[in-house]
Structure formats: structure tokens, C-alpha cells
Structure 1
Amino acid sequence: MKFGCHVSIREGYLGAARQAATMNALAFQYFPKNPRSLSVKAFNQDDAALCKDFCKKNNLTSVAHTPYPTSLTPRDNRKRKEVMQSLVNDLEIANACGSIGVVVHFGKIISLDDPLASYRLMIDVLNEILRKWHGDSKILLENTGGKPGTMGTTLEELVQVRNLCEHPEQIGFCLDTCHAFASGLWDGDNWEAVLEKGQALNYFSHLKVIHFNNSKYNTGLGKDRHANIFDHGYITESQFDQLVQTPELKDIPFILETPKEEIPHQVEIRQLQERWGLPTLTY
């Protein structure tokens, strides 16, 4: 099991990797640039290369996350151009750092009159981006935490969007446990059914990262509010047990996006290692 958390790039990409290492993590996530901007970053190639080398030597897996304004369903041509330029930039940075991919939130509804319009736009945007991209890092589509039935809350949608793109081999998935719980995809007691459906759809073959979060609200309410894994949310340890111990997930990095103000990530990573039998690591 590869447990880790989101870390800052305040000290650069190598600094982010070192920060993760000091926490005894085996994985980490980072924003490749300002998380509140779609501006293209002229990044330090040497720093990225050092990050990649450090991760390789220390058995660290990294993944990037797009800035908050990134949308795969932009509402106008100006925003569409900004999103595409920014996402290609994110992929370039992730690739230089040796990261497995860039997590991108699923699109949102743009037309109540035409429910399929959002999916068509999403596929068009992904196609245009991936025609320009030939690196190893993938786009990782993340499930959303809306109410049941809203866009991006089912495995079928994620898989079908990937299948309909021109370059599905450049697309993977990110499963957020809080989002899955909030949307009712996983209600805590139906993991076996989720696993069976995911296997039938070939979802797990392309799952590259898990956002490992508890939920401050009960399942099916569509409220995306992350909580710490132990004793701070509605998902119980025994329910997490079923997920964590799934053979299909044994090589997938589990990234915490939990409130570090309540429990520091280093402490929570240690709790995860102790709970699921991982030894303390030494760097």
C-alpha cells in the first residue's frame, strides 16, 4: 500500500518530494503551479528532473492536480483556450517530475435542454488537448461528489468518456472516496457491488490514484466535505477495510486530502500504516 498526501511546492518540486519523504510517505500529490490560476508556468526543468530522480531513488510515486479553475466543460472559447493551454502545461510539468498523471475534475452540466452537450464538449476538449500531448503522464479523470444522478458520479460515465476519446490510452482515473460516498456511488456497505461493476466496465484497469478521504456528511447528500480517516467522518474503519484490502488496489497510491489542521498528515499517514500493517519507513 502506498499512502501519502497533498504537499506544497513552495520549496520547488524537489522540495515537495523531500517533504513527502520526511512524512514516511510512499506517494504524494502537488499542484504543478498556482492552484488559483490558469496561467502557463515557465517551470524550472532542473528542479523537475531532480524531483523525478529523487522519487525514483526513494520509491516515491507522485501525481499532479490541476488548478481549481480548470474545467473540461468551459462555457466560452476564451475559457476553453485558457484551460487547454493550462492543462498541457500541467502535463508537461508532471511529465518532467516523473508523475503518473494530472488529476482533473469531471465536467459539469452546461445545458438542461441537452443533457449530452456537456459530455460532447468534454470529449472535444480532451481530444484537442491529447492531440498535442505525447508524454507519459496521463489525464486522470476524477469522479464528482454531487447528488446521485448528477454529472460525473457514476463509473459508467467515466469509462464511456474515456472510451469515446480519440486517445483513451492517455486517460486514466482517480477515485475520490469522499466524492463516491457523497454521491451514493459507494454508500459504505456496497463496495462489493462497486468492485463488481468496476471490473465489468474495465474501470480498475485504468485506475491510477485514490483520493483517500472520509466524509463529514452522510452518503447520498451530495456534500463534498472531506474528513480525516479515523473517528472524524461517516465512513467507518470496517467500511474502509473492504476498500483498502481489495487486491485490485494494492499498487494504487492512496493520497490524503484530509483536514491537516485537525490531524497533521504525517500523523495520519502513520495511523494508516499502523492500521493496515505497513512498517515504518526510513529515508
Structure 2
Amino acid sequence: MLKIGSHISSAKGFEAMGKTAVRLNATAFAFFTRNPRGGKAKAIDEEDVKRFQKIREQQRIEAVVAHAPYTMNACAARSDLREFAENIMRDDLQRMEYLPGNFYNFHPGSHVGQGIEEGVCLIAECLNRVLTGEQSTTVLLETMAGKGSEVGGRFEELRMILDRIERKDKMGICLDTCHVWDAGYDIAGHLDEVLEEFDRVIGLPFLRAVHLNDSMNPQGAHKDRHAVIGKGTIGLEAMVNIINHPLLRDLPFILETPNDEDGWAAEIALLRSYYREVI
């Protein structure tokens, strides 16, 4: 079964997200743990979570991928911003235990002139302070487009972070198709080779989710502008190859395309029509 869905607004709670997933015919979805630009998270309503879990079982929602706010920068130059990021991550991971066994995705951050090595060290130090042996959530580093001083535009940079993590069993990678394309990886013409490189540098067992997005930019543009599936420079054929690739097909796919709910439902239906079930 194709595990696919989109980002869903968490403003009205988990039950509402579950009902939206049903309308979209989604079997996975993502949500922001709080306003994507930062701020305080809403209190967890345990009854709301229970109602969502019932919907999840009925709909067979296979994966939930929470997304940290964009303002969270674990390798900021200012110590107060790093402390802010650490506090958000620790709080989010505690809250994720209401939905055990899911994923928490975040952008590694921007080193803002400190250099990749320092950025990597600061991200790893933050993770080593917040990860616990008891948590059931897998934390995902997202592949980035490499714009400005972003950390994570190359597979090697993500490997450098993982090498410094004490609890590697709590870690994974979310591959964003737009980001890796914009970073220079040719997932349209040479998907096998890109995955071979990922395996050599990071290791395929770390790959746990995919953000499925087309791109408005040419390969290697380092800009990060998402496009609707089949309407960008990566193209529909490449997207179909990605969801059917034997190394990727069983992962959860999350749409972050510039669309509304009707558009996401249409994209989900389109991709399902091209998904080849393995007997």
C-alpha cells in the first residue's frame, strides 16, 4: 500500500487532522508541532488524541511525521537562539509520546558564518542533550537545498552529524526531493546512483521518510522552491519512479507542494494510479 499524504493543519487538533486525512484518502500525513514560524504549542487534549487514534486505525494511517517550526536553528551563532531551539525540540519530543512510534522531522539549521564543522557540532550537541533512551519517536534530519549557510545540503554533512550522535537508534533521515534536486543530486536522470551515494555516505537504513515535491528550479540551483507534482523541473515520470523504487516504495511520502486540500487529494489520487502493487 502506498503510504502517502500531505501536511495537514494542526490548528483544530488531532481528531480534525484525522478527518482531513480521510477526506484526502491519505495513509500518512505531516503536521507542524506549533506555528511553523515559532511560538508556544497548544496543550495536548488526551481525549482528542484517543479520538484520532480510532480514526487512524479505521483509515489505516501508517505514519505520522511531525515537523518542527522553521525558526528552530540548533546551530545558530547566538546562544539564546540555540537554547530556544533545544527547548522546543525537548518539549516537542515529550509531546510526541502521546502518539508513540512516529517521526519528528527538522531542518538541521544554518551555521550563519560559523562554518559547517561548527554547525555540525552544535546540532549534534543539541541532539545528544535532548534524545533519551525511553523515547519512541524517531528524529529525522531533513536533506536541504544548500542555500546560504544551510547545513545538510550534502549527504556528507548529515553523516557528520550522525557520527556525533550517541543514540543513533533514535535517528533517521527524511529525503526531500525538491531539496536534493536543488542541492545538485539528479534524482530524475540518475536515481539509482543517488541512492547508491546515499547508501555509501549515510546508509539506507537511516532513510525513513520522503518529502515528495517537484521543484521550480533547475538542478543544482540551491534555492528551494517547491512545485506541484509533475509541474516542475523534476517531472512526473521521476516522481513515479521514486514512489515505485524498491528501496523507497515502502517509506511514507509526504507532499509539501504549493496546493490546497483539493489539490493534495488530486495529487494523492494521481500518484496512487501510478503505484505498482507488489504481489
After TM superposition, is the score higher than 0.5?
yes
**Aligned partners of 2:111 and 2:149 also within 8 Å:** no
Is the partner of 2:35 in helix, strand or coil? coil
Partner AA of 1:81 in structure 2:
E
What residue number does 1:47 align with? Answer: 48
How many Å separate the matches in 2 of 1:262 and 1:10? 15
CA, structure 1 residues 99+24, in 2 after alignment: closer, same or farther (shift >3 Å)? farther
1:241 aligns with 2:240: yes
How many Å separate the matches in 2 of 1:75 and 1:148? 14
What residue number does 1:281 align with? Answer: none
| Larger displacement relative to structure 2 (138-147 or 48-57) | 48-57
What residue number does 2:265 align with? Answer: 266
Q: CA deviation at 1:13?
A: 1.0
How many Å separate the matches in 1 of 2:31 and 2:101? 10
CA, structure 1 residues 47+75, in 2 after alignment: closer, same or farther (shift >3 Å)? farther
Q: CA deviation at 1:200?
A: 2.6
How many Å separate the matches in 2 of 1:115 and 1:274? 42
Q: CA deviation at 1:48?
A: 2.5
* 1:38-89 CA-partner distances (Å, limit 9, x unpaired): 4354322332243234323432021100012111213223222221121122
CA, structure 1 residues 175+96, in 2 after alignment: closer, same or farther (shift >3 Å)? same
Is the partner of 1:127 in helix, strand or coil? helix
* 1:114-165 CA-partner distances (Å, limit 9, x unpaired): 541111111111111115x631112110011125996311222212311221
1:196 aligns with 2:181: no
Q: TM-score, normalised by structure 1?
A: 0.89
**Aligned partners of 1:41 and 1:89 also within 8 Å:** no
> How many pairs are equivalent?
275
What residue number does 2:25 align with? Answer: 24
1:80 aligns with 2:82: yes
1:109 aligns with 2:111: yes
In structure 1, stretches of 5+ residues that fail to align are 279-283
CA, structure 1 residues 233+119, in 2 after alignment: closer, same or farther (shift >3 Å)? same
| Larger displacement relative to structure 2 (39-48 or 241-250) | 39-48
How many Å separate the matches in 2 of 1:99 and 1:4? 18
Q: CA deviation at 1:222?
A: 0.8
Percent identical pairs in the alignment equals 29
**Aligned partners of 1:71 and 1:107 also within 8 Å:** yes
CA, structure 1 residues 149+65, in 2 after alignment: closer, same or farther (shift >3 Å)? closer
How many Å separate the matches in 1 of 2:187 and 2:250? 24
Is the partner of 1:248 in helix, strand or coil? coil
**Aligned partners of 2:142 and 2:174 also within 8 Å:** yes
What residue number does 2:102 align with? Answer: 100
Partner AA of 2:199 in structure 1:
Q
How many Å separate the matches in 2 of 1:148 and 1:40? 29
How many Å separate the matches in 2 of 1:40 and 1:142? 22
**Aligned partners of 2:183 and 2:221 also within 8 Å:** yes
| Larger displacement relative to structure 2 (16-25 or 84-93) | 84-93
In structure 2, stretches of 5+ residues that fail to align are none
Q: CA RMSD in A?
A: 2.3
Partner AA of 1:235 in structure 2:
I
**Aligned partners of 2:210 and 2:253 also within 8 Å:** yes
